[in-house]
Amino acid sequence: MRYPILTVSACQRLADQKRDGLEPAIDADVSWQGVDDEVDLRKIELVAETMVDAVRQSAESADRDRIEGEYSVPLMVALEVVPFEVLDDPGFWRYLSLAYFWDFISWREEGPFDKGNHLRYVDCVTSTESVLTRMFLRANSVGGRDHADLAGALEKATDFWRSHILRVRTGTAPPVTRAFVEEQKSDRLSTGPLREVARSLNRTWTNIVPQLYTQEEASELISGIREGLDLTDPEGYE
């Protein structure tokens, strides 16, 4: 399958121009990989348009992380027609970021963009940092379309997802991720206590294989960790 990519250098140059308000001709920097039929981008384009429409209609106070989570599964579903070897190429994600999702990404990370710290959110050098790749990882971490509600279930949960799911091995075990989200949803811990639970969860990886857990076992694991810790420090709670 033939698919478009952008190199890191081209992506960074084009991103700088777009951030400065210019409209560079992205296709001039695109190169094509693979053979035979071109990858079908129509579903991806439709998801991008829906996401941009949501951004335009959102209030200034919108929970941007939650919206990112809500659209992570539709993004993953749209990408189901794309072969794994294409999804494994960061150049493809760079192309999507600039060609289709720039408006959403620049809104999602408006603060860093305003300060000129925008490249890591589109260059896909680190999959857990760039917006599109981390959305894809987030959708996979909860188990995809059958659990779409959980990807955006928590309010103001940027640190929860990035620090305690995507940047650690928990994100590779959907039953555990789901149990963690459900516990946080029903009994929300603030930063300090949540960090203690996450540390204890990460330590369990030396003795168990969470990817093999059933949902019931994963729920027992998370609730057991929470029950075994002293999470009553008032300074740790909101």
Global pTM exceeds 0.85: yes
Please enumerate in sequence order all residues whose Cβ is within 8 A of that of 36, keeping only pairs 6 or more positions apart, or say none.
1, 2
Q: Write down the residue that tokens 């695109």 correspond to.
A: 30
- Residue among 151, 225, 213, 220 at smallest CA distance from 189: 225
How far apart are the C-alpha atoms of 44 and 48, rounded to whole Å? 6
pLDDT of residue 59: 85
Percent of the chain clearing pLDDT 70 (strictly above):
97
Q: Is the pLDDT of residue 236 over 80?
A: no
Q: Mean pLDDT throughout 214-225?
A: 96
Average pLDDT of the residues of the chain: 94
Q: Write down the residue that tokens 């190199």 correspond to.
A: 7
Q: Is the pLDDT of residue 238 over 50?
A: no
Q: Mean pLDDT throughout 186-211?
A: 93
Residue 139 burial (CB count, 10 A): 24
DSSP string for the chain: -BEEE--HHHHHHHHHHHHTT----GGGG-EEESSSSBP--HHHHHHHHHHHHHHHHS-TT--HHHHHHHHHHHHHHHGGGS-HHHHT-HHHHHHHHHHTSHHHHHHHTHHHHHTT--GGGTS-SSTTTSHHHHHHHHHHHHTGGGGHHHHT-SSS-HHHHIIIIITSGGGG-HHHHHHHHHHHHHS---HHHHHHHHHHHHHGGGT--GGG--HHHHHHHHHHHHHTS----GGG--
pLDDT of residue 233: 57
- Confidence category of residue 61, pLDDT binned at 50, 70, 90: confident
How far apart are the C-alpha atoms of 69 and 161, rounded to whole Å? 9
Pull the structure tokens for residue 193.
């206590």
pLDDT of residue 208: 87
Pull the structure tokens for residue 221.
């694991």
Q: Are 122 and 11 in contact (CB under 8 A)?
A: yes
- Confidence category of residue 231, pLDDT binned at 50, 70, 90: confident
- Confidence category of residue 104, pLDDT binned at 50, 70, 90: very high
Q: Is the pLDDT of residue 234 over 80?
A: no
